[in-house]
Chains A and B, each alone.
Chain A
Amino acid sequence: MHVFQLFINGHSLNSIEAVDTLLKICRENLNGNYQLEIIDIQKDPDKAEEAGIIAIPTLIRMEPAPVNRIIGALNVRSRVLAGLGISSMHK
Chain B
Amino acid sequence: MNLQKLETGNASFDHISHGGLPLGRTTLVAGSSGSAKTLFAAQFLALGIQLFNQSGVFVTFEEQVDDIRKHLRSFQWDIDTWENEGKWVFVDAAPKEEIIIAVGDFDLSAFRIRLERAVMKCRAQRVVIDSIGSIFTQFHEETHAIRRELIQVALTLSRLGATSIITAERLEEYGNITRFGVEEFLTDNVVILRNVLHNEKRRRTIEILKFRGSDHEKGENPFTINPDKAIVIIPLSAMNLKHVSSNERVTSGIPVLDEMIDGGFYKGSINLVSGAIGAGKTLLVANFINGIREKKERCLLMAFEESTEQLYRNASGWGIDFKQLEDEGLLKVISVYPEISSLEDHFINIQEVVKTFKPHRIAIDSLSALSRASSDKGFREFIIAFTSYLKHQEITALFTSNTPLLAGGTSDTEGNISPITDTIILLRYVEMSGEMQRSIAVLKMRGSKHDSAIRKFTISGEGAHIGKHFEGISGILTGNPMLIKLE
Contact = CB atoms under 8 A, between A and B. Distances in A.
B101 A79 contact: yes
A24 interface: no
A67 interface: yes
A42 B475 CA distance: 88
B99 A56 contact: no
Given A52-B92, A55-B139, A69-B96, A74 B104 contact: yes
A9 B101 contact: no
B103 A74 contact: yes
A72 B104 contact: yes
A75 B107 contact: no
Nearest to B96: A52
Nearest to A21: B104
Interface string B104-123: 11111111011001000000
Interface in B48-84: none
B102 interface: yes
B100 A14 contact: no
Interface string B380-398: 0000000000000000000
A55 B101 contact: no
Contacts of B94: 52
A41 interface: yes
Contact of B93 (A52, A60, A66): A52
A12 B109 CA distance: 10
B309 interface: no
A49 B111 CA distance: 9
Interface residues of A, number: 34
Given A14-B104, A72-B105, A73-B104, A56 B98 contact: no
Contacts, number: 97
A48 B113 contact: yes
B111 A55 contact: yes
B105 A73 contact: yes
Nearest to A55: B106
Q: Which size bracket describes the interface of B in this complex?
A: 20 to 34
Interface in A47-70: 48-49, 52-58, 60, 66-70
A42 B114 CA distance: 10
B92 A14 contact: no
Name B's interface SS: mixed
Given A52-B93, A52-B96, A55-B139, A17 B104 contact: yes
A70 B102 contact: yes
Contact of A79 (B103, B109, B111): B103
B106 A48 contact: no
Nearest to A75: B104
Contacts of B102: 70-72
A66 B96 CA distance: 13
A79 B110 CA distance: 23
Contact of B113 (A9, A76, A83): A9
Interface in A1-43: 7, 9, 12-14, 17-18, 41-42
A74 B106 CA distance: 9
A86 interface: no
Contact of B107 (A14, A60, A70, A83): A14
A14 B106 CA distance: 7
A9 B99 contact: no
Contacts of A48: 110, 113-114
A89 B353 CA distance: 77
Given A9-B113, A45-B114, A73 B106 contact: yes
Nearest to B138: A54
B117 A45 contact: yes
Nearest to B107: A56
A49 B113 CA distance: 10
A7 B96 contact: no
A77 to B, nearest CB: 9
Given A45-B117, A48-B114, A9 B109 contact: yes
A10 B107 CA distance: 13
A65 to B, nearest CB: 11
A58 B114 CA distance: 15
Contacts of A79: 101, 103
Nearest to A76: B103
Given A52-B92, A55-B139, A12 B101 contact: no
9 contacts: A12-B109, A52-B92, A55-B111, A60-B98, A71-B139, A72-B104, A75-B103, A75-B104, A83-B103
A-B residue pairs, 10 tightest by C-beta: A73-B104, A72-B104, A75-B104, A53-B110, A54-B111, A72-B103, A55-B106, A72-B106, A69-B100, A9-B109
Given A42-B113, A57-B106, A68-B100, 20 more contacts: A9-B107, A9-B113, A14-B105, A18-B104, A45-B113, A45-B117, A48-B113, A52-B94, A53-B114, A54-B108, A54-B135, A55-B106, A55-B110, A56-B107, A58-B106, A70-B102, A71-B106, A74-B103, A76-B104, A83-B103
Interface of A: 7, 9, 12-14, 17-18, 41-42, 45, 48-49, 52-58, 60, 66-76, 79-80, 83
Interface of B: 92-94, 96, 98-111, 113-114, 117, 135, 138-139
